[in-house]
Chains A and B, each alone.
Chain A
Amino acid sequence: MYLLAPTVLRVAPDDFPERVRSRFASELRRAGRFAQLCLLGAQACLDAAGGDGALGVLWASEFGALHATRAALDEDLRRGEPAMPFAFIAAQPHLAGALLAQRSHPVTRTACLHLAPDAWPSLPQLAQRWLVECERVLVGCVEESGSGGAAHRSDWCLLQKKPVAGAVRCERSLGPRNAAAATAEDWIPRVAAWRGSADAPLLLRGGEDAWSFTPDG
């Protein structure tokens, strides 16, 4: 399969509302911060990749909708009141896919995974499976900022069956010994940094699994 538009998004928490407003014209109705963060990165990736066709959306997060959960627990539940719709945990992590679909993208399936940091190879592996019925799969790693002024991150790339100009060939590798260790936080940034800078394949490992990225053509 082929990888397009590796997109690395880092946003300081203070800048986040303005970034959302400037990209989507307003705060997104019914979406908490986590869903908005997913959408901001996913949309940037799709803008860069272009194209069309049935789309799967698959993303991973270690902590998920931390902010929405904290808000619902602290603001509503302590008072014994119903949580504000769309701010509670069941809806929030999964919401981004539906919001993306509502923005006229032909989304056919979505899933939010929670993985160990070195289990990121599950994402391209699952995407490859989805490509049997989707033409493209948008793959992301999303994490809200913790404490200490860290940035929110929302990194995405597009995987598809068909080769196109500028795409990177992406294959599961059976000989991972010489692969560099990568994590959910840095595998997309490393592909983005490597892309266009070298002819040699990039080999990244997560756990016992490895993927190779090769310039196409």
Chain B
Amino acid sequence: MKRLLRDRRGLFGLLVLAAIVLAALAAPLVSSGDPDTQRDIVATRFLPPLAGDRHGVFHPLGTDRFGRDVWTRLVYGARVSLGVGFLAVLLSITIGTAVGAVAAYWRGAVGALLLAVTDFALALPRVVLLLLLAALWRPSAALVIIVLGVTGWMSVARLVHGEVRALAARPFAEGAVALGAGRGRVLWRHLLPNALTPVIVAAALGVGNAILLEAGLSYLGLGVQPPTPSWGTMIASGRDTLVNAPWVATAPGLALALVVVACTLLGDALRDALDPARAGRER
């Protein structure tokens, strides 16, 4: 942890993510209230950033074509986008860890089958599958989480499989078996905790990716549905007003890029901090 904080990338990533999560959690406090509020559309639409309207409400990032405050929608949208991203990664990591661990520790038929399924799933075209799944059922945030989770677990399964197999051959694991610990206990208490390092790194990188894909699906109209603010739907609605109100699409895109940069840097720093061999070499 200390090493992580000394790494400028890790510190930056943590601070940015913490700030955005705080803003999302405290959305009602840091914004002007309801993200769907529309007062007098004609007078309040397309207000540029840093403008106030006649109702005495200040709009730090301006308003969209319905006179809704962009900053308010941005922080409420962060709840949706971050929430979907985190939950999707949580789901894919749970599936991936379970599959990888079981395949590594119960070799033979079960393990071979699970590995074959993993390889098969890795070969699936993810974007096509995402579009397909998202388009076939009624779009919603829950569906996006499930779709992203179900299409993203394979690399984690591979990682965990490799780690657990390597760890199972180590003396401490054999020692635990010799002391009479059951297979489940050895796996759960001794092997998995030691195998989690690369999983944490993969998770940090995966969150950024999941948030990007969520926004992409929502942008195409296959994810979170308007008027619920998510960064993808905000970019999509800003697309139509690019000429008169470029700030509507700009703000959520920048927010998105910031979060993904933060996740990526945090993931890089974590990998270096947790892997002593790399720590001295890379900056």
The answer to whether A and B belong to the same complex is no
- Which A residues have a C-beta under 8 Å from some C-beta of B? none
- Which B residues have a C-beta under 8 Å from some C-beta of A? none
